[in-house]
Amino acid sequence: MDQAALSSVEQWPHRLERAGVGAAALLVALSLVPSAGVQAQVYTVLDTAGAATPATTFSVAGSAGQVLGSAQFVGPQFTLTRRSVLTKIEALVNNCAVIIAGIPQCPNTLPLVVQIRRSINGAPDPRLLIAATPLTHDNDPLTVSMENAALDDVPLEPGTYFALFAPQQDSDAGLLLSNANGGTYQAGMTTIGVVTSTGSFADTNFVAVRIVAKNVHHLKKRDRDHEGR
């Protein structure tokens, strides 16, 4: 691991503590590395972004969505029917807490983060974080952009999960897009999860998110023995 990546990993336990998550959760994510030589098939797990593409942008003026803040993480529920890694997580988001008369009041923002949490009784697990990684960051407070991330080194077993979007620092806040251009663009409706400082719950709402996965298989014992020779 290079020095920049190591520095990033070292900073994560401090950031996750603000979400009520211990460093142990990060170690779980880092220890789950897929076996070499697995067969893979790419498939779409969730798509509520509709016609939006990676190049899609909207002005924050006329846009509305789910509020993201240090005390509220929001994102869709998704279900995996096979052991998979998430090769792409895309979301139309903006990261600026305050805009006054068209002038942003949000200096020094950091990229938003996507967190993967298990579903417990239909809501996100508010305590255990499986994995987290920063999204890309356009650093444009007046624009809603399609930001993305990948977690292709963290295999997830079949089950139901939530992909929640959150800021890295308390001073940041933004939105996960529901509609834009005064309603000309409308994201799809799906089950969403919300984690707050007091717990978690599920709801139904419009959010623009796309999740793509790749199935991975455990190596058979004879294949592992062959690789070890």
Q: Which pTM does this prediction carry?
A: 0.79
Counting every residue written for the chain, the total comes to 229
User: Looking at residue 26, what is its pLDDT?
Assistant: 44
pLDDT in tens, the chain (229 residues): 444 443 443 444 444 444 444 444 444 444 444 444 445 799 999 999 999 999 999 999 999 999 999 999 999 999 999 999 999 999 999 999 999 888 999 999 999 999 999 999 999 999 999 999 999 999 999 999 999 999 999 999 999 999 999 999 999 999 999 999 988 999 999 999 999 999 999 999 999 999 999 999 865 544 444 444 4
**Domain boundaries in the chain?**
3-217
Q: Which helix (H) or strand (E) holds 194?
A: strand 189-196
What pLDDT was estimated at residue 39? Answer: 54
Enclosing H/E stretch for 65: strand 64-68
Of 159, 85, 149, nearest to 118 by C-alpha is 159
What pLDDT sits at residue 96? 95
Name 183's Cβ contacts closer than 8 Å, sequence gap at least 6.
Answer: none
Give the model's pLDDT for residue 70: 94
- Residue 40: what pLDDT? 73
Residue 25 CA: distances (Å) to CA of 12, 126, 155, 158, 176: 10, 12, 14, 19, 25
Residues 6+ apart with CB under 8 A from 20: 126, 127, 197
CA quadruple 95, 98, 103, 109: dihedral, nearest 10:
-40
